[in-house]
Protein backbone atom coordinates (compact mmCIF):
# COMPACT_ATOMS: atom_id res chain seq x y z
CA UNK A 1 0.00 0.00 0.00
CA UNK A 2 2.66 2.50 1.03
CA UNK A 3 4.95 1.53 -1.84
CA UNK A 4 2.32 2.56 -4.41
CA UNK A 5 1.88 5.99 -2.77
CA UNK A 6 5.58 6.84 -2.48
CA UNK A 7 5.66 8.87 -5.74
CA UNK A 8 2.84 11.04 -4.36
CA UNK A 9 4.59 11.44 -1.00
CA UNK A 10 7.86 12.27 -2.78
CA UNK A 11 6.21 15.00 -4.84
CA UNK A 12 4.44 16.42 -1.81
CA UNK A 13 7.81 16.65 -0.03
CA UNK A 14 9.44 18.20 -3.09
CA UNK A 15 6.64 20.73 -3.53
CA UNK A 16 6.64 21.79 0.13
CA UNK A 17 10.44 21.98 0.14
CA UNK A 18 10.44 23.99 -3.08
CA UNK A 19 7.92 26.44 -1.65
CA UNK A 20 10.00 26.82 1.50
CA UNK A 21 13.21 27.41 -0.46
CA UNK A 22 11.50 29.84 -2.85
CA UNK A 23 10.04 31.86 0.00
CA UNK A 24 13.30 32.21 1.88
CA UNK A 25 15.40 32.89 -1.21
CA UNK A 26 12.88 35.64 -2.02
CA UNK A 27 13.24 37.05 1.50
CA UNK A 28 17.03 36.97 1.25
CA UNK A 29 17.01 38.72 -2.14
CA UNK A 30 14.52 41.33 -0.91
CA UNK A 31 16.49 42.01 2.25
CA UNK A 32 19.71 42.30 0.26
CA UNK A 33 18.40 44.80 -2.27
CA UNK A 34 16.32 46.81 0.19
CA UNK A 35 19.44 47.89 2.04
CA UNK A 36 18.94 45.65 5.05
CA UNK A 37 20.87 42.70 3.66
CA UNK A 38 23.78 43.11 6.05
CA UNK A 39 22.01 40.80 8.48
CA UNK A 40 22.33 37.88 6.06
CA UNK A 41 25.97 38.32 5.08
CA UNK A 42 27.82 40.32 7.77
CA UNK A 43 28.07 37.81 10.57
CA UNK A 44 30.76 39.73 12.45
CA UNK A 45 28.24 42.39 13.54
CA UNK A 46 25.91 40.03 15.36
CA UNK A 47 26.10 37.76 18.40
CA UNK A 48 27.23 34.20 17.86
CA UNK A 49 23.76 32.79 18.49
CA UNK A 50 22.40 34.80 15.56
CA UNK A 51 25.13 33.41 13.32
CA UNK A 52 24.05 29.86 14.25
CA UNK A 53 20.45 30.78 13.45
CA UNK A 54 21.28 32.05 9.95
CA UNK A 55 23.71 29.22 9.19
CA UNK A 56 21.05 26.75 10.33
CA UNK A 57 18.57 28.31 7.92
CA UNK A 58 21.09 28.05 5.08
CA UNK A 59 21.75 24.40 5.99
CA UNK A 60 18.00 23.69 5.86
CA UNK A 61 17.71 25.38 2.45
CA UNK A 62 20.66 23.44 1.01
CA UNK A 63 19.29 20.22 2.52
CA UNK A 64 15.91 20.75 0.84
CA UNK A 65 17.60 21.25 -2.51
CA UNK A 66 19.89 18.23 -2.11
CA UNK A 67 16.96 16.05 -0.97
CA UNK A 68 15.55 16.17 -4.51
CA UNK A 69 18.37 13.86 -5.60
CA UNK A 70 19.61 12.20 -2.39
CA UNK A 71 16.69 11.99 0.01
CA UNK A 72 18.47 10.57 3.07
CA UNK A 73 21.43 12.98 2.90
CA UNK A 74 19.10 15.93 2.32
CA UNK A 75 16.87 14.92 5.24
CA UNK A 76 19.95 14.63 7.48
CA UNK A 77 21.06 18.14 6.45
CA UNK A 78 17.58 19.50 7.14
CA UNK A 79 17.49 17.98 10.63
CA UNK A 80 21.05 19.24 11.25
CA UNK A 81 19.98 22.74 10.24
CA UNK A 82 17.00 22.58 12.58
CA UNK A 83 19.33 21.55 15.39
CA UNK A 84 21.59 24.48 14.53
CA UNK A 85 18.65 26.89 14.59
CA UNK A 86 17.57 25.39 17.90
CA UNK A 87 20.58 27.00 19.56
CA UNK A 88 18.75 30.33 19.32
CA UNK A 89 15.32 30.30 20.92
CA UNK A 90 12.89 32.44 18.96
CA UNK A 91 9.23 32.48 18.03
CA UNK A 92 10.15 32.12 14.36
CA UNK A 93 11.92 28.82 14.95
CA UNK A 94 8.99 27.52 16.99
CA UNK A 95 6.50 28.36 14.22
CA UNK A 96 8.47 27.01 11.25
CA UNK A 97 10.21 24.00 12.80
CA UNK A 98 7.22 21.59 12.59
CA UNK A 99 6.89 22.32 8.86
CA UNK A 100 10.61 21.77 8.28
CA UNK A 101 10.60 18.51 10.24
CA UNK A 102 7.53 17.33 8.29
CA UNK A 103 9.34 17.85 4.99
CA UNK A 104 12.47 16.09 6.29
CA UNK A 105 10.33 13.22 7.56
CA UNK A 106 8.63 12.82 4.18
CA UNK A 107 11.99 12.71 2.39
CA UNK A 108 13.32 10.19 4.89
CA UNK A 109 10.16 8.06 4.54
CA UNK A 110 10.58 7.96 0.75
CA UNK A 111 14.20 6.91 1.10
CA UNK A 112 13.35 4.26 3.68
CA UNK A 113 10.56 2.66 1.62
CA UNK A 114 12.68 2.70 -1.56
CA UNK A 115 15.60 1.15 0.29
CA UNK A 116 13.40 -1.54 1.82
CA UNK A 117 11.92 -2.34 -1.57
CA UNK A 118 15.31 -2.42 -3.33
CA UNK A 119 16.82 -4.79 -0.74
CA UNK A 120 14.40 -7.59 -1.67
CA UNK A 121 15.49 -10.28 -4.12
CA UNK A 122 14.47 -9.69 -7.75
CA UNK A 123 11.79 -12.43 -7.69
CA UNK A 124 9.95 -10.73 -4.80
CA UNK A 125 10.07 -7.26 -6.40
CA UNK A 126 7.97 -8.36 -9.40
CA UNK A 127 5.06 -9.36 -7.18
Report the half-sphere exposure of 90 (CA within 13 A, side-chain side).
Answer: 13
pLDDT class for 104, splitting at 50, 70, 90? very high
DSSP conformation letters of 25-50: HHHHHHHIIIIITHHHH-GGGS-HHH
Write out pLDDT tens, residues 81-93. Answer: 988 887 776 656 6
pTM higher than 0.85:
no
Q: What pLDDT does residue 83 have?
A: 86
Write out pLDDT tens, residues 26-76. Answer: 887 777 777 665 555 555 566 666 777 778 888 999 999 999 999 999 999
pLDDT class for 79, splitting at 50, 70, 90? very high
**Length of the chain counted residue by residue:** 127
Q: What pLDDT does residue 103 have?
A: 92
How far apart are the C-alpha atoms of 29 and 105, rounded to whole Å? Answer: 28
- Contact 99/107 with Cβ under 8 angstroms? no
Q: What is the largest CA-CA distance in the chain?
A: 62
Write out pLDDT tens, residues 51-65. Answer: 777 788 889 999 999
Amino acid sequence: MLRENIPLVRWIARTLGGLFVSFFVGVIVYETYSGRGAQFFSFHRYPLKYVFHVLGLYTVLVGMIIAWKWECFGAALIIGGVAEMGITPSIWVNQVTPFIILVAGLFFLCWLVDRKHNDKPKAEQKE
